[in-house]
Structure 1
Amino acid sequence: MLEKHEQEVPNIHNLITLYGRAEECLPDEETIDVDLLERLNQLCIDARYPGERGLMPEVRPSQEEGRGFRAFAENGLDTIRQHLQEKK
């Protein structure tokens, strides 16, 4: 999305930050569950880079939560694909 709108794509993993950068490129009717992005950050960033805390967060999600993450990702990917095709 950022490249399509000729914006710099940062080399980061933080989904909240990436969403903040891409939000202005998304259609107004699109909303993202920021709480879910934060939870994914905990799993994908905090667990990989525990940093100053020295503690690992609860890493393993339940199967139900995992299915929810997958559905969230698939929906987001579908939305982005549709948006990019509309702009061609």
Structure 2
Amino acid sequence: MRAFTKEWLKAAYDDLLTIEEIINNQHLTNIAAFHAQQCIEKSFKAILEEKEIDTPKIHKLLKLHRMLPTTLTEVNDDTLSILDELYIESRYPTEMGLLPHGKPTLKDANEFYIFAKNIFNQVCTILDINIKKNFN
């Protein structure tokens, strides 16, 4: 495994751990969504790195997903789009607060976490990474 691949996956794993620490805090649902987006972005970039495909310095999940040489299951383009929007909006507040329609609910945050964790786990399987052995 390439060194940068492992670094991308370690960073993605750290995003998952961050979500786990804050997932039940109603005041931090936007932060949980941000880390879900980051986990997915870094997981996608790990595949690109390992397959020696130039890893672009972009944050758009849909574009990164389309660049993957590997097929992932249960990846919903609508959810990727929502997370892309939340990523941008969480960095640049609007008149209504951090997000255009308010903050994600606890249910939303949990769904984003499960979605991100699923993608991360698939990437680890594809790249033959043992999470406990490599990241704990």
TM range (shorter): 0.7 to 0.9
Structure with the largest fraction of helix: 2
Q: 1:46 to 1:17 in 2, by over 3 A?
A: farther
The alignment-based identity, stated in percent, is 29
Matches within 5 A, 1:2-81: 2-22=48-68, 25-27=69-71, 30-49=73-92, 57-81=100-124
Q: Which amino acid aligns with 1:72?
A: F
| Separation in 2, partners of 1:44, 1:59 | 14
Deviation at 1:48, TM superposition (A): 2.5
Aligned residue identity for 1:68: E
SS in 2 for 1:85: coil
What is the TM-score of this pair, normalised by structure 2?
0.51
Structure 1 runs of 4+ with >3 Å offset: none
| Greater RCO structure (CA 8 Å; 6+ sep) | 2
CA RMSD of aligned residues (A): 2.0
The amino acid across from 2:61 in the alignment is L
Residues 13, 21 of structure 1: alpha-carbon distance in 2 compared, 3 angstrom cutoff: same
Structure 2: 5+ residue runs without aligned partners? 1-46, 94-98, 130-136
Could you tell me how far apart the structure 2 residues matched to 1:63 and 1:48 are?
A: 20
Unaligned runs of 5+ in 1: 51-55
* Partner secondary structure for residue 2 of structure 1: helix
